[in-house]
Structure 1
């Protein structure tokens, strides 16, 4: 049912606005709290780290609860976070209040995807998943740049959190008013789900996901600071660049959904190669910043759904848990990319951030090659095991 997918997308719009809405206002936050840009970046990396460490456990624990209830509770916590953040709390409290809803982010996403795909025909699974995940693209093209622009125009970073609060409130109303009650059904055993962590190919795809997202966020996390210092853009101009970045992600997300239905592996490989090439262009061709930002945005938004599909394909026996893990490993990439790039920026200068992007992009390509090799070996060994069992029975 498309209604479930679209409401799931609206909730994801609020969640992504909360997680990444700080990117455009990091310089303002650093100035307000009198801290360095990499310290301000912990508002993003700490959020992602909580998702990476706590997300899978929360998803396992809550997998048997009503899906509507889980989605509503999750969005309610994000709503409270937006309200408190907009009141200019001390930095430690701002950091803490942003970390709390992060525990439920993977729960919301995996639940929304399960609800949307569970109500659709099997042949439309990727399409429903793409609709839910389009909330990421919508956030990057609407709420994130709008919040940055608003904060710049009125010189008030608090307005960014007001935007987040409004979106979360609308999502909560939609969930409560228009979603039917959705019991989760029979809860899979923990052992059956955890078993995918013993598969070498799945673990390799997980590390690939970490490196891929690290590549994307090593520069994107400091988007505003990079364009301000390297390209000498104002806050308003950065908001426009964020808008272009997000707008390019909309057709990128649509195309990724189409290509994934044909070949998950080929789509993944093409994305990784393009990411490494863009990182080189960002460093060596600053005069082409605008077209490069458009290409970068086209690749950035679909990276989440592409990496997720790639990991789920490696563990079809536990798609819900695999989805949660893909979100967690992806956010581990956000943490790693933001932290490493923050250190490079502090020690070597912000103009060197694209080199971190190139390093992680290359690493993700290598891990993809390893995953494909391991998957081929697993496929070769499976028939042999089956034949041995059959021979024993005969």
Structure 2
């Protein structure tokens, strides 16, 4: 892998730490900002909403930009939103900084994914994306528990300052390793072709799978801290350790998924989603058993992130050579799930169903995700890609 792929993974680690860390800081944020835990959970949904809009918008606006320039601009704005967030104690202001930061984070994801596609061979794309997305799993293992510890001992603002500092390091790496040139005008993506690539039914089913799998993961993950302390009965001090174990499971899962997703995306998705459904049901039934619950949470991370490379590989395979907008739309689909998961969980908690209900909601969204995968197998493969060369036999099989 080119070193730039690992630098982009580091950049995702820096920003992904911010995306994830609020799950471990909800009690502290709620107390300091004088809001309820479900209201604090909306900060997670707001971040996802910003990404939902940012991915396709910024993908279109930066089609002709130097990719290095775009990545550096996005990182700079992201760092500044965290400085502003660390300096405020107003819930509305913090909500606004989360939306703006997420908007440019989505743009970073889209441009980074396309950059990776130009740096590696076609048969290594899912593996390369697993390296980049692996930055998010490392954020789960290191950034999330570190942010939780910082928040518990030095105030949640310290976690925001740390993310801003990590972004500065990421900027230095991008400046040193990502090529600076603009896309060749003859080969640069054309907006018309990008929209034509979206006319594939299987592609929209893939987006649906992405959204539903993500919602299945986030409906539980977003409320892990209060679930562990209020229902399972663990101490507050134990939460960072459990979150780190979840991250370790995620890291193992995404690496295993990356090994098989290029050749077997359908089978990888089927196994991952089925595992999520079974584990969510077990979690709903066994929250009084501390050891079993922790084990289930670790496996949830593994099966959840194990699906990620396949979710990306299917989109690249189906969209052909004009995948910039399709990739951005897939990232928006991720964030539909990230928005819907905490929202559905918050509805259940506010209705008095308790944290155990989160597992049953995840079972429902997981079954819906599995249905989209199975249904896609019976949808005819679309005709030629927008570049006019037709979908390859390998792409047909992979889709």
TM-score (norm 1): 0.91
Superposed, 1:198-217 pairs within 5 Å as 198-217=199-218
Return structure 1 stretches of 4+ with deviation > 3 angstroms.
177-180
Partners in 1 of 2:61 and 2:310 — Cα distance? 26
Partners in 2 of 1:161 and 1:140 — Cα distance? 16
Question: For residues 135-156 of structure 1, what are the alpha-carbon distances to aligned partners after superposition, in whole Å with 9 as ceiling and x for unaligned?
Answer: 111111111111112222x162
Higher helix share: 1
User: Is the contact made by 1:2 and 1:116 (CA closer than 8 Å) also made in structure 2?
Assistant: no
* Residue number in structure 2 paired with 1:93: 93
Question: For residues 56-98 of structure 1, what are the alpha-carbon distances to aligned partners after superposition, in whole Å with 9 as ceiling and x for unaligned?
Answer: 1221121210011111111111111221222233111101011
Partners in 1 of 2:315 and 2:177 — Cα distance? 31
2:335 is aligned with 1:331: yes
* Residue number in structure 2 paired with 1:264: 265
* Residue number in structure 2 paired with 1:251: 252
Q: Give the secondary-structure state (helix, strand or coil) at the position aligned to 1:318.
A: coil
Distance 1:362 1:223, change over 3 A: same
Superposed, 1:301-340 pairs within 5 Å as 301-340=305-344
Structure 2 spans left out of the alignment, 5+ residues = 384-389, 391-399
Return the offset for 1:177: 3.4
Question: For residues 94-141 of structure 1, what are the alpha-carbon distances to aligned partners after superposition, in whole Å with 9 as ceiling and x for unaligned?
Answer: 010111122222321222222233123333333222221111111111
* Residue number in structure 1 paired with 2:354: 349
Superposed, 1:1-394 pairs within 5 Å as 2-152=2-152, 154=153, 156-186=155-185, 187-286=188-287, 287=289, 288-347=292-351, 348-375=353-380, 378=382
Matched pairs, number: 379
User: Is the contact made by 2:25 and 2:156 (CA closer than 8 Å) also made in structure 1?
Assistant: yes
User: Is the contact made by 2:20 and 2:144 (CA closer than 8 Å) also made in structure 1?
Assistant: yes
Partners in 2 of 1:311 and 1:188 — Cα distance? 16
Q: Give the secondary-structure state (helix, strand or coil) at the position aligned to 1:125.
A: helix
TM-score (norm 2): 0.90
Partners in 2 of 1:238 and 1:168 — Cα distance? 26
Return the offset for 1:316: 2.1
User: Is the contact made by 1:22 and 1:160 (CA closer than 8 Å) also made in structure 2?
Assistant: no
Structure 1 spans left out of the alignment, 5+ residues = 380-385, 387-394
Q: What RMSD, in angstroms, separates the aligned Cα atoms of the two structures?
A: 1.9
User: Is the contact made by 1:196 and 1:318 (CA closer than 8 Å) also made in structure 2?
Assistant: yes
